[in-house]
Amino acid sequence: MFRVGPSVRLSLRFRRALATHALPPTVPPTRHAWTKKEIQDIYDSPLLDLVFRAASVHRQYHDPSKIQLCTLMNIKTGGCSEDCAYCSQSSRYATPTKASRLVDIEPVLEAARKAKANGSTRFCMGAAWRDLSGRKRGFERILTMVREIRGMGMEVCTTLGMLSPEQARQLKEAGLTAYNHNLDTSREYYPEVITTRSYDDRLETIAAVRDAGISVCSGGILGLGETDKDRVGLIWEVANMPEHPESFPVNALVPIKGTPLENNEPVPYQTILRTISTARIVLPATIIRLAAGRQTLDETQQAMCFMAGANAVFTGEQMLTTPCSPWDEDKAMMARWGLEGMRSFEQPGVARKEGDRLHAQSEPEAAAAPETSTGQPSA
C-alpha cells in the first residue's frame, strides 16, 4: 500500500500524481474493453467470493481505511420539466416537494463552511433542471459559488442537468472538481424510466465534462424494476468509456410518494453489495459512492459495502429532498470500524485533473491547500 508518514504523505502523493499523471507505479492499468459476459460472470459469482475479490482489488488501488465524505445541497429545488420516474422534483408528479428558485450565494457558502467544519471534503450542489438554457444569470451565480467553495480548499461538484462543452469549460475555469451526471441504468432499461432525454444525451454531457478536464461522477440507481442484466449493462457502459469515471455513485431507490415508482419493492441488500463489488473489480481506480438509500442499511451492512470497495458517502443534514445520514452518526460509525475521512484531492485521478491548480498550491504550500477530513490545512 502507498502509505507513508503522515506529515509528508500528502505532498508526496500529490507530487507523484502530478509528476506521472498516473496511478502509483505498482498499480496495474485499468481495462477499458470489457465484454458484458465478462462482467456478468463476475456479477454472478458466489457472493462472498465476489466480495473477497473486490476487497482485494480495493486494497491494490486505494487506502481501505479512507472514506470520502461528501455533502449535498439542493440549490434549486423541484419544478423540473423532466419525467425521471424516481424523482420527487419532476413537475409531472404530485410529490411532497415544493418548488423553489435558485438560492442566493451566501447561504450556500455558509453550508459549505459547515460541511467543511464537520469533516466533509467535497461539497456537491444540485439543481433540478433539464439543462442551463435561458439561465445565464443563474449560471453566473453558480460559477461564483464554485469559485468561492474551491477557494475554501474543498472539492466542488455540481449536478445541473445537461451541459454544453462551453458551459463545462466555464465550470472548469471556475474551479469545478467534478460533475455528477448519472446514466442511472442500462441503455435497454433507460426508456422505462425517463423519456424526456435520451441515453445518448447523457453520454454527450459526460463527454463534454470529461473533455473539459473535469472529473466525471456517473453511476446509477438500483430498485427501478431493472434486472441483473441491466445492472451489468450499466457497469459495462461506464467500463468502456475512454476514461473510467472518477466516481461511480450507487443509489438505492428512495421511494417518493406520487412518483410512478412509489410502490417499488426495495432492492435486496445482496444486490447492492453485488453491484458495488462488481463495480469495484471492473472500475478499480474509481471512487465507489454508497449514495441514496444508505439510511436503509444497518451499520454492519454498510461496513460490508466498505469492505467490498465502497469508499465514499453523502453525509450531512439533507440529500436533495430526503434526509441524509448525519455527520455525527457517520463519524461515530467510521470510528467503530477504523475508518477515516479522505483528504480533498487525495484520489490520484482527481488530483491529476486538478493539475496546475494543485501544483500552484503545493509549491509553496498555499493558503487554499487541500483539506484534511477535519477541515485543518493538510501537511
Among 168, 319, 339, 358, binds ligand DTB (CB under 6 A): 319
| Helical residues (DSSP H) of the chain, grouped into ranges | 9-20, 36-43, 47-61, 105-117, 136-151, 165-174, 199-211, 228-239, 269-282, 299-307, 327-336, 348-362
Q: What are the grid coordinates assigned to 143, written together?
A: 460559477
**463476475: which residue's cell?**
42
Determine the Cα–Cα distance for residues 362 and 49; give it in Å rounded to an integer. Answer: 42
For the segment 138-177, give every residue that binds ligand SF4 (CB under 6 A): 161
Peptide bond into 377 cis (omega under 30): no
Among 103, 171, 221, 288, binds ligand SAM (CB under 6 A): 221
Residue 128 sits in the site that holds ligand SF4 (CB under 6 A): yes
Kind plus residue range of the DSSP H or E element containing 123: strand 122-127
Interface mask toward ligand SAM for 248-287; x: CB under 6 A: ---x-xx-x-------------------------------
Residue 102 touches which member of ligand SAM, ligand SF4, ligand DTB, none, C-beta under 5-8 Å by kind: none
Among 283, 292, 303, 333, binds ligand DTB (CB under 6 A): 292
Q: Which of 122, 135, 231, 289 is catalytic?
A: 289
Determine the Cα–Cα distance for residues 83 and 322; give it in Å rounded to an integer. Answer: 19
Determine the Cα–Cα distance for residues 132 and 70; give it in Å rounded to an integer. Answer: 24
Among 17, 57, 82, 277, binds ligand SF4 (CB under 6 A): 82
Query: 3-state DSSP call for residue 73?
Result: strand
Residue 80 labelled as part of a binding site = yes
| Helical residues (DSSP H) of 118-161, grouped into ranges | 136-151
Estimate to the nearest angstrom the gap between the alpha carbon of 233 and the chain centroid.
19
For the segment 23-82, give every residue that binds ligand DTB (CB under 6 A): 72
For the segment 189-228, give every residue that binds ligand SF4 (CB under 6 A): none
- Number of Cβ within 10 Å of residue 231's Cβ equals 26
Q: Which of 70, 80, 305, 324 is catalytic?
A: 80
Q: Is 157 known to be catalytic?
A: yes
Feature table: binding site for [2Fe-2S] cluster: 124, 157, 217, 289
Can you give the binding site for ligand SF4, defined by CB under 6 A?
A: 80, 82, 84, 87, 89-90, 128, 130, 161
Binding site as annotated, residues: 80, 84, 87, 124, 157, 217, 289
Active site positions, annotated = 80, 84, 87, 124, 157, 217, 289
Q: Would you tell me which residues interact with ligand SAM (CB under 6 A)?
A: 86-87, 126, 128-129, 159, 161, 181-182, 184, 221, 251, 253-254, 256, 292, 320
